[in-house]
Amino acid sequence: MNSVMDTAREALTGNNVVGRMSSLLNESESGTRQVLEKAVPVSVAGLASTASTEAGAQALLQTFKHGDYDQIDPGDLGKTVLDTNTAERVMSSSEGTMGRLFGNKLGGIVDGLAGEGGVSRSSASKLLGLAMPLVMGIVGKTVTSRQMDARGLSGFLGEQVRLAGAAIPDRLSGMFGLTPALAGGPRTVTEHRERMVEIPRQGGRRSFLPWLVAGLVLLAGLLWVSGRRHHRTAEQIVATAPATPAPPVTTAPATPAPPATTAPAAPAAPTAAEEVTPLSVAVGVEALTRTLDGSAALPARFVVSDLNFRYNSAEIEPSTVQVLDGVAGVLQSHPTAKLRVEGHTDATGNDQANMALSQSRAESVKDYLTGRGISADRLEAVGFGESKPLASNDTVEGRGQNRRTELVVTQR
């Protein structure tokens, strides 16, 4: 069976697709071809990056199984670009998929593709919007025909990104964690792991190199974790014991202990107008919609309880972006509404580092929503560090509540 790259290339070179798209976008044919040729492997790398974690692979698998995604069958690509209105509609509707897949990297990816082909940023975005559903259609059909599970999907995409890696521009490869290998183009750590698992099944001679690479990766990870024990910043490593024996949660402070039900010292609770209401994938969108459709006094505050970030990073976990997709959908239906995105951390680590991390995370959420088509002037991003806890920082559960993102509705 052809690779995803081969199948996509055949579809793009047939039916004068490049010529029609260059005419539609008023760009040179050579520039249009270059962007499309780069947009396909970039789309493959985006999918592989999403599937590099177990949760991400599961979420992506469900997307393919349910068929709820933008897709183009390779055989229908010629008809799609033949009609101007259809082509424009497909490229525009793909913006949501690109936002979910690439998150806050989308702007940099579009800029990189535009630079590769010497085309406008708008044209690069539209060409990526054509390549993405084409790749999604090819991968989705493969998932269905092979009845893949999440592990199979992750391994398949790891192999595809290895095959496509050499075609990804150097300026973009770093966004997907690709590094040069001794042979065969860039590879990801995920792909090394998958190849290590697959080799024994081939029945041939087993290579020592994948085991060596995996061991080095594991060793580097252990050394990194060990180093973090001596230099904690904004996040809590739950499994690591503190440097000094931790007092029991109920240990009395230096001053007489308050009753067990007394809340720890913290800034004043939100006013009635800013009552904290949990926001989740299941009910958050409905709650946000009710607030924007209602007449209760503003501001109204929500805790985004289903949103997670990478450890000590402002990068959003791909498997948790659905909640932001829902928020973007609500904001698109309420074009005058405005939100303030607030980032908060627990009290672990350095105050300045916590403040910087919370600001960066708030900016990441804002960037993701703007990537989904929400105007930046409707969003404000503010980081508060550890200054506004919801619970005690003396317990794991309390610190977990304090590490959060909040959305504050400031205008309907």
CA 36 to chain centre: 23
Kindly state whether residues 284 and 403 are assigned to the same domain. yes
Task: Please name the helix (run of DSSP H) or strand (run of DSSP E) that holds residue 113, with its range, or none.
Answer: helix 106-117
Q: What are phi and psi of 188, to 5 degrees?
A: -105, 165
Can you tell me whether residue 206 is helix, strand or coil?
A: coil
Q: Is residue 263 part of a domain?
A: no
Kindly state whether residues 119 and 204 are assigned to the same domain. no
Q: Is residue 229 part of a domain?
A: no
What's the structural domain count of the chain?
A: 3
Kindly state whether residues 102 and 153 are assigned to the same domain. yes
Mean pLDDT by 10 residues, the chain (412 residues): 81 83 90 90 87 84 78 84 80 75 82 88 89 89 88 87 77 66 38 36 42 57 50 35 42 46 42 41 61 85 83 84 86 92 90 90 93 93 92 84 90 92
Q: Is residue 240 part of a domain?
A: no
Q: Is residue 85 part of a domain?
A: yes
Kindly state whether residues 216 and 121 are assigned to the same domain. no
Last residue of a domain, one of 187, 209, 237: 187
Kindly state whether residues 150 and 199 are assigned to the same domain. no
Q: Is residue 91 part of a domain?
A: yes
Kindly state whether residues 182 and 205 are assigned to the same domain. no
Q: Which residues contact 110 (CB under 8 A, 6 or more apart)?
A: 121, 124, 125, 128
- Structure token digits, residue 86: 């259809």
Kindly state whether residues 206 and 70 are assigned to the same domain. no
Q: What's the pLDDT score for residue 342?
A: 94
- Least Cα distance to 201 among 145, 142, 151 occurs for 151
Say how far apart CA 269 and CA 397 lie, in whole Å: 19
Kindly state whether residues 18 and 145 are assigned to the same domain. yes
Q: What's the pLDDT score for residue 216?
A: 61
Q: Which residues contact 319 (CB under 8 A, 6 or more apart)?
A: 53, 55, 56, 58, 59, 308
Kindly state whether residues 152 and 26 are assigned to the same domain. yes
Q: Is residue 292 part of a domain?
A: yes
Kindly state whether residues 163 and 200 are assigned to the same domain. no
Kindly state whether residues 291 and 209 are assigned to the same domain. no
CB 192 within 8 A of CB 210: yes
Domain that holds residue 147: 4-187
